[in-house]
């Protein structure tokens, strides 16, 4: 039997004790553990090779999403995020889902699309036909650019074209479909798009301008669904509250943006922990949310015939396990090891489950006691620190502010002052 991601009392342990449990779960080495808890885990010379104009690095907390059972397998999910309550909400929701059999997931093959823009084509509709007809030559040229991807079972697999009407008149857009396997894809796709553009320009006429991957990755979708018993979620009223919350988001873009923000709270935290490109995933998610002509919810929540809650989610997921910083950032490498995912597809499916869990955690709180109670204790600690509290004073000031329901900087400063004066006498 595999190891369980449901470790009783995990949240009550110290960071050192928690890491010990994660070490056992993921077979981390002593060096990996030391690196995870050292302050300067991204060496400056490595940072300097990652981006331009480097002057330092900025650490964020790394927590673990617990209790995730996905397709009958246990996962501990590393999450890098500055916002309190996100890790707790995901873990709590995953526990409810676990008791109902866990998450079920699936995904399409990892296909990304590269777009080639052709302007000034005299006969764009006929040019579209000519481009599609040139598919064999185009795919051959594209695949010559990346023999490694081809030998891994991926590569350019299809070519399509469309005519769009723009403020500059009709344009022909050729679209190259590339199976990216375990890479996120931009390097492979953009290189291929640039390499095939002379062929596209020759057969279409006109002039090629942009050659770039699309982040609306509708051919690289991940899906997850789950059933949560009405008892686990807090009764039939809470089930109804969550279903109504979904209906609200489905009908109103102002709510949908916040609903989807909650989903992305979980997904992006994991993407940052693994040093994937969160902007690409966010852009794809929001563009996908508007695919039906209006901005809507990325997840759905329904009540089944037993009165239990059923959730599902589908969204594009351009993530990779090779290329980019995933294999160079020391903490990202450990995060992937903790996750234990073997393919980008498996990784994407875990992210879909995380998004659904995060959404459930938020909606359950919103549909019952409200979101603030859970938020307050950590929020109060942050305010206490910002007001200048250190050591034991952080907890003293935070607890007092929660008790008084006055979680404000001015109150924190007063309490610190009072405490310091009382210590002097
Ligand atoms: C806060 O970061 C996220 C929520 O606003 C999500 C939601 O409203 O569904 C709680």
- Name the more confident of 114 and 40: 114
The pLDDT, as a whole number, for residue 368 is 87
pLDDT at 380 over 60: yes
pLDDT digits (tens, 9 = 90+) for 132-170: 999 999 999 999 999 999 999 999 999 999 999 999 999
User: For residue 84, how far is its CA from the centre of ligand 1 (angstroms)?
Assistant: 12
Report the pLDDT averaged over residues 318-330: 91
Ligand 1 atom 9: residue of nearest CA? 259
Tell me the pLDDT band of 2, cut-offs 50, 70 and 90. Answer: confident
pLDDT at 191 over 70: yes
Closest ligand 1 atom number to CA of residue 359:
9
The pLDDT, as a whole number, for residue 1 is 56
Instruction: Evaluate if pTM is beyond 0.85.
Output: yes
> Residues lining ligand 1, CB < 6 A?
83, 258-259, 261-262, 265, 362-363, 366, 371
Which residue among 261, 266, 378 is best mutated to probe the pocket of ligand 1, counting the most ligand atoms within 8 A of its Cβ?
A: 261
pLDDT at 219 over 60: yes
- Name the more confident of 166 and 1: 166
In 3-state terms, what secondary structure has residue 302?
A: strand
Which residue among 250, 257, 259, 379 is best mutated to probe the pocket of ligand 1, counting the most ligand atoms within 8 A of its Cβ?
A: 259
Which residue among 357, 366, 367, 373 is best mutated to probe the pocket of ligand 1, counting the most ligand atoms within 8 A of its Cβ?
A: 366
Report the pLDDT averaged over residues 249-276: 98
pLDDT digits (tens, 9 = 90+) for 86-107: 999 999 999 999 989 999 999 9
Structure tokens that stand for 227 in this block: 């059933």
Select from 236, 238, 287, 233 the least CA-distant residue to 260.
287
pLDDT at 369 over 90: no
**Taking the C-alpha atoms of 14, 19, 24 and 30 in order, what is their torsion angle to the nearest 10 degrees?**
-130
pLDDT at 425 over 60: no
Residue % of the chain over a pLDDT of 90: 88
pLDDT at 245 over 90: yes
Distance (Å, whole) CA 354 – CA 356: 5
- Name the more confident of 275 and 39: 275
Burial of 306 by CB count in 10 Å (0-12 exposed, 13-18 middle, 19+ buried)? exposed
Sheet of strand 169-179, all strands in order from the earlier edge strand to the far edge: 155-166, 169-179, 111-119, 207-213
pLDDT at 283 over 70: yes
Ligand 1 atom 3: residue of nearest CA? 262
Distance (Å, whole) CA 74 – CA 24: 14
Tell me the pLDDT band of 378, cut-offs 50, 70 and 90. Answer: confident
User: For residue 376, how far is its CA from the centre of ligand 1 (angstroms)?
Assistant: 14
The pLDDT, as a whole number, for residue 109 is 98
Distance (Å, whole) CA 172 – CA 213: 16
Distance (Å, whole) CA 183 – CA 179: 9
Ligand 1 atom 4: residue of nearest CA? 262
Distance (Å, whole) CA 172 – CA 122: 10
pLDDT at 15 over 90: yes
């Amino acid at each position: 039997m595999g190891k369980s991601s449901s470790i009783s009392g995990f949240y009550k342990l110290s960071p050192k004790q928690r890491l010990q449990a994660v070490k056992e779960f993921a077979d981390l080495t002593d060096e990996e553990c030391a690196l995870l808890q050292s302050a300067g885990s991204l060496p400056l010379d490595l940072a300097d090779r990652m981006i331009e104009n480097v002057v330092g690095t900025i650490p964020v907390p790394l927590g673990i999403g617990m209790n995730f059972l996905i397709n009958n397998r246990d996962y501990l999910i590393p999450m890098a995020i500055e916002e309190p309550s996100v890790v707790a909400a995901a873990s709590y929701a995953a526990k409810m889902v676990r008791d109902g059999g866990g998450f079920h997931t699936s995904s399409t093959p990892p296909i990304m699309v590269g777009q080639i823009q052709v302007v000034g084509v005299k006969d764009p509709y006929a040019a579209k036909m000519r481009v599609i007809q040139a598919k064999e030559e185009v795919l051959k040229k594209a695949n010559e650019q990346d023999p490694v991807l081809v030998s891994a079972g991926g590569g350019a697999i299809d070519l399509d074209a469309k005519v769009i009407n723009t403020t500059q008149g009709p344009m022909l857009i050729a679209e190259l479909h590339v199976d990216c396997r375990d890479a996120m894809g931009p390097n492979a796709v953009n290189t291929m798009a640039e390499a095939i553009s002379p062929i596209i320009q020759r057969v279409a006429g006109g002039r090629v301008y942009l050659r770039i991957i699309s982040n609306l990755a509708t051919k690289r979708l991940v899906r997850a669904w789950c059933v949560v018993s009405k008892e686990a979620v807090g009764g039939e009223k809470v089930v109804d509250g969550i279903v109504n919350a979904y209906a609200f988001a489905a009908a109103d873009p102002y709510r949908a943006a916040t609903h989807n923000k909650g989903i992305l709270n979980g997904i992006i935290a994991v993407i940052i922990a693994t040093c994937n490109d969160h902007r690409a995933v966010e852009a794809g998610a929001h563009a996908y949310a508007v695919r039906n002509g209006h901005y809507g919810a990325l997840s759905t929540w329904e009540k089944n015939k037993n009165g239990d809650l059923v959730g599902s989610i589908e969204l594009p997921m351009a993530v990779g396990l090779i290329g980019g910083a995933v294999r160079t950032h020391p903490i990202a490498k450990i995060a992937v090891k903790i996750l234990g995912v073997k393919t980008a597809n498996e990784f994407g499916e875990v992210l879909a489950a995380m998004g659904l869990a995060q959404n459930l955690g938020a909606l359950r709180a919103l549909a019952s006691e409200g979101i603030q109670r859970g938020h307050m204790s950590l929020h109060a600690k942050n305010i206490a620190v910002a007001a200048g509290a250190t050591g034991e004073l952080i907890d003293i000031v935070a607890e007092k502010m929660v008790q008084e329901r006055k979680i404000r900087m001015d109150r924190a400063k007063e309490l610190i002052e009072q405490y310091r004066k009382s210590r002097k006498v």
